[in-house]
Amino acid sequence: MRSVKNKGRKNLKDNRKKKNKADLTPDEKACVKGKSDKNAASDKKKYNVFQLFFKMVPSVFAAAPLVLTVDVILSIAHGVFWGVETFAQQKFFDAATAFAAGEIAIKRVIMFLCLLALANITCQILNGIANYIPTVVAEKVSGRLSIGIHQKIARLAPIDFEDTKKLDDINKAENGKNSAYWFVFLIISIFTFYVPYFAFMGWYLFHLKPILALTILLVFLPTAATQLIRTKVFTKLEDKSAPVRREYEYYESCMVSREYFKETRLLGGFTYFKNLFTDSLRLLQNLKFKATMKTNLIELGMRIVTVCGYFCILYMLFDALMKKEITVGAFAAVFNSIGMLYGIMEEVICRHIGEIAKNLGTIQNYLNLLEMPERGGEDRELHGKLDITLDHVSFFYPGAEKEAVKDATFTINNGETLAVVGENGSGKSTIIRLITGLYSPSKGSVTYGGTDTSTLSMKSLFSKTSAVFQKYQKYQMKLADNIGISDVAFPVKEESLDDVCTKSGLDKNDSSFSEGYNTMLSREFDGVDLSGGQWQRIAIARGFYRNHDLIILDEPTAAIDPYEETRIYNEFAEIARNKTAIIVTHRLGSVKLADRIIVMKDGAVAQIGTHEELIHTDGEYARLYKAQEQWYREDD
């Protein structure tokens, strides 16, 4: 018969205070939606099995339409032929009985024997095809659904990745994607294979004796009730498991990934993370154990009811035979098929529908991600020399009660070099994300030449912007690709690489780069390891390489000494000539090259002015400068 392989510490709370939704941007509204488990659950659409099926079918069929259409046709034929085999058995047994009584010739018996053999062979062939096709198509469909997830994630507002609830949804969606194909396939199998088979058997049994048709219900109802309960239990389990699963996956990474192993071994952190990992894993296993135990006990009780129904069927058959209401051939065929009927019902309900019930919550989560609000905005090319204006801008991070940026108002003139300074945690990096349009303000507006950034698509906002962030990426690729990845619209040119490497202080002829620009920067791929300073220079070269009208250096020189930092900033000033440039730093030795300086303190703009204006004013800038004066006294 048709068989399918089964594929397939706490809850995070958001205590953010309620705000008037009319005052919020699309990004902020998306954050507020996840402020509590209860409210988040109410914001998400809940679909029943058939709604999920019809929403998933187009995506699954789009991956292999011809193959899956053929599978549907063969599946229907498969179900019918299993019923035909039972009918052929009756005809054969009746013919054999009649032949033994001398009522018919042997030729008629052989004819029904051939019919039985043909039905059986056809069933076996169709069964083989039915088991082969879904396995072949599974990887293709999974790949297509993965692409869909990645495309969706790319369209989400960047602020969503600061929201733990959204991160849980993404994690749950990845699991749901793996279950989605088999969910669709199993539903199709139920309606194209199992339903035709049970319909044929119901008609056949009703034709023999109407009461015999009730046998299907006696087998079906108890097990169906079990699966309804399983659906609810495992849907709740998935919601509880997602945050715990993210925890233990992170702790596992801290123990074994290359990124962490030096520090965790040297500082003795391995045991600490192992204990956290073990606690999270135990909690996850405990949640699964309770859900599984509950459903298994219910299933055990229902199976007892089903077995009782099985014996009732045998009694009705025997009684009908004794009363000569059915023939010996019909009794033998039905008796032989009852075991198969029971087995198929067991398969479809306890195995297939059980698998659907178990994974229904993960598929719901997959759809929740696909329906998550996107950043949106209009694709529009911004022309001309544009000023950037922040008008009474405030910003909350998801789940935060305190503003990260408070009522910031200033204008960055086109072609101006601006420095943003302040102590750690003062709001420097957050205000940069607001300026670039990565985040939309909770209150106020950010405009480019009068155009509100919240109305523009991310593609339009970032098309002429380059940046080097404090937490830059170390791509496990060749040196040329590590730099050229910032402007993939054009082929990487060596002369351009030479130019930006010189400006960032990176020497391709250094012994570290044995193959020049073709050196692989990863030991995991038979390449080399680099120092922190070398990686920072690569990140700076990457930012310089991109064609831009606005460039930002967000504290990328932390691993470089102050003197080398000054040299890089001077190169930066030359590159940024006639372009808008922003330097973010808490080290003030190099900010004198800026046209103006913005001083951040506790999320607010404390001061704005030139170096000379601010150094002679009793304020935050003068205090910071004097505290750091010994670092750069030789430069004054």
Domain borders along the chain are: 47-370, 386-464+548-636, 475-547
Which pLDDT does position 556 carry in this prediction? 66
Which pLDDT does position 354 carry in this prediction? 67
pLDDT tens digits, 460-505: 888 888 988 878 888 889 999 999 988 887 788 888 999 889 888 8
Eight-state DSSP code of residue 559: T
Which pLDDT does position 350 carry in this prediction? 65
Q: How far apart are CA 97 and CA 90, in angstroms?
A: 11
The CATH class given to the 386-464+548-636 domain equals alpha beta
pLDDT tens digits, 395-442: 999 888 889 999 999 999 999 999 999 888 899 989 999 999 889 999
Under CATH, which architecture does the 47-370 domain have? Up-down Bundle (1.20)
- Helical packing angle, 164-189 and 214-256, nearest 10°: 140
Q: DSSP letters along 511-559, please?
A: TT-TTGGG-B--GGGT-----HHHHHHHHHHHHHHS--SEEEEESTTTT
Enumerate the β-bridge partners of residue 552. Answer: 467, 582
Which pLDDT does position 232 carry in this prediction? 74
Q: How far apart are CA 549 and CA 63, in angstroms?
A: 41
Q: How far apart are CA 154 and CA 582, in angstroms?
A: 26
Pairing of strands 417-421, 580-585: parallel
Q: How far apart are CA 553 and CA 465, in angstroms?
A: 11
Token couple for 411:
């204008």
CB 416 within 8 A of CB 580: yes
Enumerate the β-bridge partners of residue 581. Answer: 417, 551
Type of residue at 56: M
Low pLDDT (below 70) residues in the chain: 1-44, 215-216, 218-220, 223-224, 227-228, 258, 261-262, 265-266, 346, 349-350, 354, 357-358, 556-564, 630-636
> Which one, of 83, 332, 113, lies nearest residue 216 by Cα?
83
Q: How far apart are CA 434 and CA 432, in angstroms?
A: 5
Q: How far apart are CA 510 and CA 512, in angstroms?
A: 5
CB proximity list for 69: less than 8 A, separation 6 or greater: 61
